Amino acid sequence: VKGPVDGKYKGITADMHACSDQAITLAALAPFADSPTVIKGIGHIKYQESNRIQAITTELRKMGIRCEEDEDGITIYPGEPTAARVETYDDDRMAMGFSLIGLRAEGVTISDPMCCRKTFEKYFEVLEEVVMSLRD
């Protein structure tokens, strides 16, 4: 797996209604884009394990990332995430998605990584194995 040489990719507009479980992952990648990323069609994720739209914007703002929430989605602007302790809201997708920011930003920690146990108990072990294999 390799990203762009300069570490930036183009921001996108994505209607994620049909695949809203991946909205957190896209939101975690969005700060590293070179232009805004708009995630729409996800108003219903306010009513899942957590209010995921509010959780995403709260945690990104903690890291100094500008984002705007509306009824149906989020706009996330490019930025350099700063160190922060990410609350998971007992939501496995928040823990897994926001762990990706920690691969590029120093000092990002997940407050309750074991909330992943309900869907992917060994997520952080597998993530570490993948990261280590990419370094070899």
Query: Any idea which residues carry the catalytic annotation?
Result: 21
Rounded Cα distance between 83 and 75, Å, is 21
Contacts of residue 40, defined as CB under 8 A and 6 or more positions apart, other chains included, come to 13, 14, 15, 16, 17, 72, 73
Which residue type occupies 103? L
Strand partners, 70: 73
